[in-house]
Amino acid sequence: AQKVTQAQTEISVVEKEDVTLDCVYETRDTTYYLFWYKQPPSGELVFLIRRNSFDEQNEISGRYSWNFQKSTSSFNFTITASQVVDSAVYFCALSEANTGTASKLTFGTGTRLQVTL
């Protein structure tokens, strides 16, 4: 069975601080996908990134960066120079990668990030 653990329930930082959200996953599949979604106070889910298990390169997108380490089954998310607009609940998710069929997501329980002035 697949499992995603986000051990940090809530994190509070002051604006401009860097913050890292941890994600640890378990799967027996050799091929899988990892995701991060953002859920702002308005409630919708916003897709941030999708990573294939064969691609261990770290990725940077503006102030966001992701560190994928297969050896430790982790897919951590760092926000550099945080801003108040980053305040949200962030979910890490895992899906199998079966060809030609739907990918069912297994979500972590989320990390609530509060960025204050």
Partner 1 sequence: NAGVTQTPKFRVLKTGQSMTLLCAQDMNHEYMYWYRQDPGMGLRLIHYSVGEGTTAKGEVPDGYNVSRLKKQNFLLGLESAAPSQTSVYFCASSYRGLAGGSSEQFFGPGTRLTVL
Using the contact rule CB under 8 A, the part of the chain among 43-51, 54-62, 66-74, 80-88 near partner 1 is: 43-51
What are the backbone angles phi and psi of residue 109, rounded to the nearest 5°?
-85, -5
Q: Which of 45, 60, 81, 84 binds partner 1 (CB under 8 A)?
A: 45
Please state, in angstroms and rounded to a whole number, the distance separating the CA atoms of residues 76 and 11: 14
Q: Which of 66, 75, 90, 91 binds partner 1 (CB under 8 A)?
A: 91
For residue 103, state whether it binds partner 1 (rule: CB under 8 A): yes
Residues 113, 13 contacting (CB under 8 angstroms) = yes
Looking at beta carbons only, is 89 or 115 nearer to partner 1?
Answer: 89
Q: Which of 20, 58, 72, 109 binds partner 1 (CB under 8 A)?
A: 109
For residue 66, state whether it binds partner 1 (rule: CB under 8 A): no
Please state, in angstroms and rounded to a whole number, the distance separating the CA atoms of residues 32 and 15: 34
Q: b vs e for 90-116, b when ≥16 Cβ sit within 10 Å of the residue's Cβ?
A: bbbbbbbeeeeeeeeebebebbebebe
Judged by the rule CB under 8 A, the positions of this chain that interact with partner 1 are 4, 33, 35, 37, 43-45, 47, 50, 91, 95, 97-110
